[in-house]
Amino acid sequence: MSRSLLPKISIDKQKQPPYTHAPVKAMSDRGVPAFNAPGANVNAVKELVIAGMLLAARNLRGAMEFVSALDPADPGMEKKVENGKKNYTGFELTGHSLGVIGLGKIGCLVADAAIKNVGNIGQMRPEAILLNFSRDGVVNVKAVLAALEVKKLSCYVCDFPSPEVNRHPQVIALPHLGASTGEAEENCAVMVADQLHDYLEHGNVLNAVNFPAVILPRESNYRLAIANANVLNMLGQISTVMAKASLNIHNMINKSKGEVAYTLVDVDSQVPQQVVDLIAAIPGVLAVRYLPLGPWTEG
C-alpha cells in the first residue's frame, strides 16, 4: 500500500500478524485504524494441524513419493506396491499423547481433552513428532535438525519452508497454507466488512492493531469520532471547544493504545463545521469525523 494513498483511505485489513502489508505507523500518524480479523482462520489452521499429524503418523509423504516413482506401465507394479508398503508403516493417533505449546484459539481446538505439558526438545519423548503451525521463529531449526539426526525427533512438520529444512527426508514443510481456504478468506472479508461498516457509520473500533477497542452504543443522532496523540490534556481541550459552542455532551468514551488515543462523543445537538475544524486544529489531534445519523445540516 502506498503511503500517498493513506489520506484517502480509512482501513487496511490483514488476517493475522505480523502486519507486514500495512504501513501501520504511517496510518497511526494520520489517525487511520488498521483492522485485522482475528479468529477468521482458526478452523482452517486447526484442520491443517490435524492433517499434519496424520501425514507424519502414517508416513504419507514417503508413501506417496514411493507410489509416484512407480512406472504405471510396469506389469509388476502391483507386486512392488505390496512389497514396498511395509517400509511406510505408521501408527494411529489414538492412545498417544498430544502436547500443545500455546493455548490460543487454534491450540484449544486442536488439543480438545488431550493436553500435556511440553518443554523444550530435549525433554520430549524419543522419536516424538514436532509440529509448528504458529510462527517460523518460535522453533530453533538447528536444534530440530540435530534432534532429527539422533532420532530424538522422528519428524518435523511445519507450515514455514526454509532452506535449512527443505527436502530434508524427515521434514514435511508446507507452503504457509494455514489460512489458505475459501472459507477462511470469506470469514476474513465478512468480519472486516462488518468492522468497517461499524467504524464508518458509528465510529466504533474493534480489532484494530493500532487503535484501542472503543465501542459506544448510540444514544444520540450526533457523534464525533476523534483520534489523537496520547498526551496530556487532550480531552480538556476538546471539551472546552465543545463547551464554548454550547454543545452538551450526552455520553463520551475515551481509550488509548500506545501512542494513540481515540474518543467517541455523543452530543445533544448538531455539530457545526466550525467546531469540527477547531477540534481538528488542536495540536496532537490526528483526525476528526462527524457522524450524524441522517442528513448533516450545519447548525
Instruction: Write down the pLDDT at residue 124.
Output: 79
The gap from C-alpha 265 to its chain's centroid, in whole angstroms, comes to 30
The gap from C-alpha 12 to its chain's centroid, in whole angstroms, comes to 13
- pLDDT of 124-166, one tens digit each? 788 899 999 887 777 888 888 988 998 889 999 999 889 999 9
Residue 61 lies in a domain: yes
Instruction: Write down the pLDDT at residue 296.
Output: 47
Give yes or no for a contact between 158 and 132, defined as CB atoms under 8 angstroms apart: yes
Instruction: Write down the pLDDT at residue 20.
Output: 55
Residue 201 lies in a domain: no
Domain count across the chain:
2
Instruction: Answer with the one of 173, 191, 221 that is the final residue of a domain.
Output: 173
- pLDDT of 23-53, one tens digit each? 899 999 999 999 989 889 999 999 999 999 9
Structural domain of residue 63, as residue ranges? 42-173
Instruction: Answer with the one of 144, 173, 202 that is the final residue of a domain.
Output: 173
CA angle 39, 41, 43 (to 5 degrees): 95
DSSP of 28-72: HHTT---EE-TTTTHHHHHHHHHHHHHHHHTTHHHHHHHHHTS-T
Residue 188 lies in a domain: no
Give yes or no for a contact between 133 and 159, defined as CB atoms under 8 angstroms apart: yes
Residue 225 lies in a domain: yes
pTM: 0.74
Give yes or no for a contact between 227 and 256, defined as CB atoms under 8 angstroms apart: no
Q: What is the DSSP letter of 125?
A: P
State the Cα–Cα distance between residues 149 and 152, nearest whole angstrom: 8
